[in-house]
């Protein structure tokens, strides 16, 4: 073999090796190798640098998803919302919040057929309800303040606004939608309207044979909702007034108890409760024990009544207020009863020792049931008006 032939063979082998190397480098790095001319490289192959590793993505958290929508809403100036729906919502806010969301969905479905002026008014009302439920807090629903809790301003305004939006949307609902929802509307109206109500009887007949005129159907359903909403608002207002009345009596009773304790502490020479045989303590201590025994008697007799009490789905918690009233009246009745026995105005056995005195206080404390019967009857009558319809 000649030298020139060996040289050519070596060049071909070198070229084949370099091409194979470039192909492997291209497959690894994704970039083309140095260009070749006549099978030979024009220069030394540059060193291939590994691509920089991408920065690790931040770990996703449970709150990461809602951050962007919240930031956008705050940037637009609208009311802030909770990151997790119903995470910090109060019990009185849950039901109107669900109702508001239902009306928002219905509004979005009907928006194309609603005049612009009416649509803006309805949207503003729904936004007002959202702000009332949120309050002045940021990021979560705010509980009512003492004044709002006492007057019921927020909760009643929320429901009245939702009722207004509900009645307005009826005039834009389709026949199929109204006929499908008529049974549910009648069921809600029956909770507050008497069964012989003209509009309720008419709607019951429409559930079997709806009228052919769509406007007549819409107007009838709207009028039925108007009467049911008015009766519902009146029912809740009556429940709030009853709650506030019991609360006022409870506060006055507690103030009277505290006043008796303060007077007995300041004037120990005048014993409001005559000490029994063998008692050598201070008069205020004896008075405190009598009140405690009266509260125990009130608690024992209040358990059966308050267990049977029903709240009727009201946000005012009437059974809780009934319990507080009974527990407050019991100690005061115990003191008054012991004073009457000590003064000889009540014909009964005079307490001879501490145990007999406390037993007498328990008996008089349990007599609160006769005093607080008016509250139980008022709450029962209020619930009966709802059940009888």
123 and 168 Cβ atoms separated by less than 8 Å: no
Distances in whole angstroms, Cα of residue 157 to Cα of each of 225, 318, 350: 17, 20, 57
How confident is the model at residue 67, as a pLDDT? 44
26: pLDDT strictly greater than 60: no
DSSP 40: E
From CA 149, how far away is CA 153, in angstroms rounded?
8
224 and 181 Cβ atoms separated by less than 8 Å: no
- Encode pLDDT of 131-166 as tens digits: 888 765 455 555 666 777 777 778 889 999 999 999
Pick the more confident residue, 342 or 196.
196
State the CB neighbour count (10 A cutoff) for residue 114.
18
For the residues of 152-183, what is the DSSP string, one character each?
A: -HHHHHHHHHHHHHHHHHHTT--HHHHHHHHH
Which own/partner contact pairs does 232-235 have at CB distance under 8 Å and 24+ positions apart?
Answer: 232/159, 232/163, 232/191, 232/192, 233/156, 233/159, 233/160, 233/163, 235/192, 235/382, 235/385, 235/386
On average, the pLDDT of the chain sits at 77
167: pLDDT strictly greater than 70: yes
Grade residue 169 by pLDDT with cuts at 50, 70 and 90.
very high
How confident is the model at residue 186, as a pLDDT? 93
Helices marked H in the chain — which ranges? 3-29, 64-76, 91-110, 116-134, 146-151, 153-170, 175-190, 198-208, 214-266, 283-308, 318-342, 354-366, 368-371, 373-387
122 and 161 Cβ atoms separated by less than 8 Å: no
386: pLDDT strictly greater than 60: yes
Element (H, E) at 41: strand 40-41
With a pLDDT cut of 70, the percent of the chain lying above it is: 69
121: pLDDT strictly greater than 90: yes
> Taking residues 57-79, what's their average pLDDT?
44
How confident is the model at residue 88, as a pLDDT? 56
178 and 221 Cβ atoms separated by less than 8 Å: yes
Pick the more confident residue, 114 or 57.
114
Q: What is the pTM of this model?
A: 0.65
> Taking residues 62-79, what's their average pLDDT?
43
- Encode pLDDT of 307-332 as tens digits: 776 665 667 778 888 889 999 999 99
Bridge partners for 36 per DSSP? 41
244: pLDDT strictly greater than 70: yes
> Taking residues 112-118, what's their average pLDDT?
93
Grade residue 42 by pLDDT with cuts at 50, 70 and 90.
very low
């Amino acid at each position: 073999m000649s030298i020139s032939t060996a040289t050519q063979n070596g060049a071909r082998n070198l070229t084949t090796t370099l091409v194979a190397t470039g192909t492997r480098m291209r497959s690894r790095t994704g970039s083309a190798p140095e260009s070749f001319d006549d099978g030979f490289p024009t220069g030394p192959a540059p060193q291939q640098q590994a691509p920089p590793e991408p920065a690790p993505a931040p770990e996703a958290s449970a709150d990461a998803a809602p951050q962007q929508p919240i930031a956008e809403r705050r940037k637009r100036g609208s009311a802030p919302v909770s990151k997790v729906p119903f995470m910090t919502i109060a019990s009185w806010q849950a039901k109107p919040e669900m109702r508001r969301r239902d009306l928002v969905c219905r509004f979005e479905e009907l928006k194309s057929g609603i005049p612009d002026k009416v649509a803006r008014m309805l949207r503003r009302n729904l936004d007002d309800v959202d702000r009332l439920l949120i309050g002045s807090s940021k990021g979560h629903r705010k509980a009512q303040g003492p004044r709002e809790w006492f007057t019921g301003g927020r909760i009643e305004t929320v429901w009245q606004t939702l009722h207004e939006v509900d009645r307005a949307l009826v005039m834009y609902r389709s026949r199929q939608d109204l006929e499908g929802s008529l049974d549910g509307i009648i069921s809600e109206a029956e909770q507050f309207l008497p069964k012989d109500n003209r509009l309720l009887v008419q709607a019951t007949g429409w559930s079997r044979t709806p009228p052919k005129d769509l406007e007549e159907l819409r107007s009838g359903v709207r009028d039925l909702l108007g009467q049911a909403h008015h009766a519902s608002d009146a029912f809740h207002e009556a429940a709030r007034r009853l709650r506030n009345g019991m609360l006022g009596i409870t506060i006055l009773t507690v103030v009277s108890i505290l006043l008796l304790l303060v007077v007995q502490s300041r004037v120990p020479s005048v014993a409001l409760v005559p000490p029994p045989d063998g008692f050598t303590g201070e008069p205020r201590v004896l008075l405190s024990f009598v009140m405690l025994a009266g509260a125990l008697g009130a608690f024992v007799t209040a358990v059966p009544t308050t267990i049977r009490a029903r709240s009727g789905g009201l946000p005012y918690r009437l059974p809780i207020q009934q319990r507080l009233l009974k527990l407050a009246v019991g100690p005061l009745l115990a003191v008054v009863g012991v004073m009457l026995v000590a003064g000889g105005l009540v014909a009964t056995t005079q307490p001879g020792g501490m145990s007999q005195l406390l037993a007498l206080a328990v008996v008089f404390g349990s007599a609160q049931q006769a005093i607080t019967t008016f509250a139980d009857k008022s709450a029962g009558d209020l619930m009966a008006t709802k059940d009888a319809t």
